Amino acid sequence: MNLTALAAFSDNYIWMIDDGKRAIVVDPGEPGPVVTALDAKRLELAAILVTHHHADHVGGVDALRSRLQGPVFGPARETVPQPCIPLNEGETCEALGLRFEVIDVPAHTAGHIAFFNREGAGEPIVFCGDTLFSAGCGKLFEGTAEQMHRSLTKLAALPDATRVCCGHEYTLSNLRFAQAVEPQNEAVSRHVERCQALRAAGKPTLPSAVGFERQINPFLRCAVPEVIAAARAHGASAPGGSEVLAALRTWKNEFR
């Protein structure tokens, strides 16, 4: 199985898994990069997975239907292009012989889901849309800090080796914020250098891995004393996970 990040718009990724014959794509915000990738490798499109309703994640779904040999799977609690097989937490879907478990991860949007594949494609994979980013998390458009804390806690509990496939290339700007939160975190500083080199070479900084994110991502480190202290200095009302996350999220929104 091959895993590829197809660049779309200015900083989106449309994730593609293929077995050399057939492919699954995740969150096709536009059709162009998918069509190009399918044609280049002569792949059939076996299924589309959708994590949430934002246009930069679903905008290409209808245009791809003429190429699609299978279903579109998406969140049950959101309005996405139809027909789409609706999925809730605990349900599974299958494509390309791979089984994906659905995890509810509301907060960026109210019905946002993630797709987790435990085996069959090498190391586990999670497609987490705009909930978990490398070194960051999505904005709280339709949910609360408490919901985001719960959603991220679920994703952080996945196996360490799980490849984190998120919807945007935000890593370097997220890492600058992570350095402001934890100036002493050497894993963060080292990762900045690696990601700068990757971006300079035109390569994605993704996928990341769950275990690594727990070392560098301040939003997964809301129980770490240094992170709590930084959040309290930026308005966290209490040392609890949701309060710390709320303060980090507000601070990050204003961070330049």
- Point out the residues that are catalytic: 52, 54, 56-57, 108, 130, 168
Q: Which secondary structure element, helix H or strand E, spans residue 208, and what is its range? A: strand 208-209
Residues in region 172-211 near Zn ion by CB under 5 A: none
Radius of gyration for the alpha carbons in the chain, expressed in angstroms and rounded: 18
Closest separation between CB of residue 137 and Zn ion, Å?
Answer: 11
Q: Report the DSSP beta bridge partners of residue 48.
A: 25, 72
Q: How many helices (H) and strands (E) does the chain have?
A: 9, 14
- Judge whether 140 and 97 are in contact, CB under 8 Å: no
Binding range to Zn ion, per CB under 5 A, among 18-26, 82-90, 118-126, 129-137 = 129-137
Nearest residue to 127 via CA among 43, 5, 222, 40: 5
Q: Which is nearer to Zn ion, 104 or 130 (CB)?
A: 130
What is the closest distance, in whole angstroms, from the C-beta atom of residue 218 to Zn ion in the complex? 20
Shortest reach from residue 59's CB to Zn ion, in Å: 10
Quote the least distance from Cβ 50 to Zn ion, whole Å: 11
Nearest Cα neighbor of 20 from 40, 36, 47 is 40
Stretch that binds Zn ion, among 37-45, 54-62, 117-125, 224-232 (CB under 5 A): 54-62
CA dihedral 35, 129, 173, 161 (to 10 degrees): -100
Of the pair 107, 227, the CB lying nearest Zn ion is at 107
Interaction with Zn ion in 141-170: which residues (CB under 5 A)?
167
Q: 130 or 243, CB closer to Zn ion?
A: 130
Nearer to Zn ion, 143 or 167 (CB): 167
In terms of CB distance, is 85 or 141 closer to Zn ion? 141
User: Using CA atoms, how far apart are residues 38 and 23, in angstroms rounded to an integer?
Assistant: 8
Between 66 and 253, CB nearer to Zn ion: 253
Q: Of the candidates 130, 169, 213, 243, which one interacts with Zn ion according to CB under 5 A?
A: 130
| CB-side neighbour CA atoms (13 Å) of 143 | 24
Q: How many residues bind Zn ion (CB under 5 A)?
A: 4
Q: To the nearest whole angstrom, how small is the minimum distance from the Cβ of residue 182 to Zn ion?
A: 26
Nearest approach, Cβ of residue 27 and Zn ion (Å): 8
Say which residues have a Cβ less than 8 Å from residue 193's Cβ, sequence separation at least 6: none
Bridge partners, residue 199, by sequence: none
Choose among 123, 129, 116, 149: nearest CA to 212.
123
The verdict on 54 binding Zn ion (CB under 5 A) reads yes
Residues near Zn ion (CB under 5 A) are: 54, 56, 130, 167
